[in-house]
């Protein structure tokens, strides 16, 4: 079994792109999945235009059939994935008392339901093969209730942490580990897009290390948890937040 075959969701840009690039550079064959097929195809082509080691996939994390199709596509081309990185997410800045039911459903479906479906589909495939590594990208917001993001995002990311524990317990005996990484504010374009400059400056001032986190370091943490040697780490959460949350 090739243990260096991975699927990264939300890989068209931002943290997902950073993770996909770092994994590919480390020798992984990477399936890059995103709802934006055009953009994720461009990223995949920049890694390997031949498609031998990088493959774009159209995937809506709200749809279980999309995950099943992704599993099948990876099995057809490379024999099956061994690593799943649940990175796809959507953040919204919204006042608590003004979040609409529709906004709640949209944000929780992408961040929470998407993680559940991915763990369910890939977790079963991994368990059937007797090996797998699942890394869920959670968030500091899911631990402290959030500051710059909405309650729907914070609640969904809190659920990701719980799902990590539930699936870790379920799959541990089958050789599958499930862990989470909870980043604090990262130096990403999306952060600068959704957070006004004055509010972002104020946020940085509250971070003990006085800096936004580095996406490439989050990708390094993914590689650590994805390694075959990480078999004793499961149900864990790596806090990488500049000192904003300590436990």
d(CA 207, CA 75): 43
d(CA 112, CA 2): 29
DSSP string, the chain: --S-EEEEESTTSHHHHHHHHHHHHTT-EEEEEES-HHHHHHHHHHH-TTSSSEEEEE--TT-HHHHHHHHHHHHHHHS--SEEEE---------GGG--HHHHHHHHIIIIIHHHHHHHHHHHHHHHHT-EEEEEE--THHHH--SSS-HHHHHHHHHHHHHHHHHHHHHGGGTEEEEEEEE-SB--HHHHHHS-HHHHHHHHHHSTTSSPBPHHHHHHHHHHHHSGGGTT--S-EEEESTTSS--
> Is the Cβ–Cβ distance between 65 and 41 less than 8 Å?
no
The residues, ordered by sequence, that sit 6+ positions from 97 with a Cβ below 8 Å of its Cβ are: none
Catalytic residue from among 28, 131, 153, 245:
153
Is 153 annotated in the active site?
Answer: yes
Residues known to be catalytic: 153
């Amino acid at each position: 079994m090739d243990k260096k075959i991975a699927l990264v969701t939300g890989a068209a840009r931002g943290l997902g792109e950073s993770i996909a690039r770092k994994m590919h550079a480390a020798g992984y064959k990477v399936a890059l999945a995103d709802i934006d097929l055009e953009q994720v195809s461009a990223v995949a082509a920049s890694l390997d235009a031949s498609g031998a080691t990088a493959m774009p996939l159209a995937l809506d994390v709200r749809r279980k059939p999309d995950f099943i199709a992704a599993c099948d596509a990876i099995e057809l081309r490379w024999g099956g994935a061994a690593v799943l990185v649940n990175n796809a997410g959507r953040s919204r800045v919204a006042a608590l008392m003004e979040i609409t039911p529709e906004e709640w459903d949209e944000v929780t479906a992408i961040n929470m339901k998407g993680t559940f479906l991915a763990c369910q589909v890939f977790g079963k495939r991994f368990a059937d093969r007797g090996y797998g590594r699942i890394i869920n990208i959670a968030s500091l917001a899911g631990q402290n209730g959030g500051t710059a993001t909405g309650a729907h995002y914070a609640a969904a990311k809190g659920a990701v942490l719980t799902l990590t524990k539930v699936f870790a317990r379920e799959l541990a005996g089958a050789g599958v580990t499930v862990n989470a990484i909870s980043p604090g504010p990262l130096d990403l374009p999306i952060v600068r897009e959704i957070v006004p400059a004055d509010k972002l400056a104020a946020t940085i001032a509250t971070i003990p290390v006085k800096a936004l986190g580095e996406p490439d370091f989050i990708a390094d943490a993914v590689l650590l948890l994805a390694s075959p040697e990480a078999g004793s780490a499961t149900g864990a959460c790596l806090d990488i937040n500049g000192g904003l949350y300590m436990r």
